[in-house]
C-alpha cells in the first residue's frame, strides 16, 4: 500500500514552453501533497505544499506564477513549469501521506531537461 506515482518519468522540452507533471496517490487519498526539487548531488528542497481544493502554499523563493500547482482531487496533484528555462532542469519529486500520519511516501520522480 501507500504507492505514489508520477508522470512522466522524464521529459525534455524547449526553452519557453510549459511542462505539466502529474502526481497520483494510487491506493489512498491525500488532502495534502508535497512537491520537491532536487538538483544533481544535492538533497531534496521543498517547493510547495499542494492542498486539495485550495491554493498551494509555496516556500520562500519559489515563484508561484512559474510553478503552478493544482490539486484537483484527493488523488491527483499537478505541477506545471511555465515558460521553462534551462535552469529549471532538475529532478522533481512529489510525496503524499495516507492520513494524519507523519509518514510520507515519495513518487519515483520526474527528470526535466530544458534545452
Partner 1 sequence: TQLLEQSPQFLSIQEGENLTVYCNSSSVFSSLQWYRQEPGEGPVLLVTVVTGGEVKKLKRLTFQFGDARKDSSLHITAAQPGDTGLYLCADTGGFKTIFGAGTRLFVKA
The one among 71, 107, 112, 114 contacting partner 1 by CB under 8 A: 107
| DSSP class per residue in 25-66 | ESSS--SEEEEEEE-TTS--EEEEEEETTS--EEPTT--TTT
Is 69 among the residues that bind partner 1 (CB under 8 A)? no
Residue number, 82 or 104, with CB nearest to partner 1: 104
Is 42 among the residues that bind partner 1 (CB under 8 A)? yes
Q: How far is the CB of 16 from partner 1 (least distance, A)?
A: 26
Q: What are phi and psi of 104, to 5 degrees?
A: -120, 155
Residue number, 15 or 58, with CB nearest to partner 1: 58
Stretch binding partner 1 (CB under 8 A), from 14-22, 69-77, 78-86, 87-95: 87-95
Is 67 among the residues that bind partner 1 (CB under 8 A)? no
Stretch binding partner 1 (CB under 8 A), from 11-19, 62-70, 77-85, 88-96: 88-96
Using CB under 8 A as the binding criterion, the count of chain residues that bind partner 1 stands at: 23
Rama region for 51: left / alpha / beta (φ>0; ψ in -120 to 50; rest) = beta
**In whole angstroms, what is the distance from residue 27 CA to residue 24 CA?**
9
Q: Are strands 32-38 and 90-96 parallel, antiparallel or unpaired?
A: antiparallel
Amino acid at each position: 500500500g501507500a504507492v505514489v506515482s508520477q508522470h512522466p518519468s522524464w521529459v525534455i522540452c524547449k526553452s519557453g514552453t510549459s511542462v505539466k507533471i502529474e502526481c497520483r496517490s494510487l491506493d489512498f487519498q491525500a488532502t495534502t501533497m508535497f512537491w520537491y526539487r532536487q538538483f544533481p548531488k544535492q538533497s531534496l528542497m521543498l517547493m510547495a505544499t499542494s492542498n486539495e481544493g485550495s491554493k498551494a502554499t509555496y516556500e520562500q523563493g519559489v515563484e508561484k506564477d512559474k510553478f503552478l500547482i493544482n490539486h484537483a482531487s484527493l488523488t491527483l496533484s499537478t505541477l506545471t513549469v511555465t515558460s521553462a528555462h534551462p535552469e529549471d532542469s532538475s529532478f522533481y519529486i512529489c510525496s503524499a501521506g495516507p492520513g494524519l500520519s507523519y509518514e510520507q511516501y515519495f513518487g519515483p520522480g520526474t527528470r526535466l531537461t530544458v534545452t
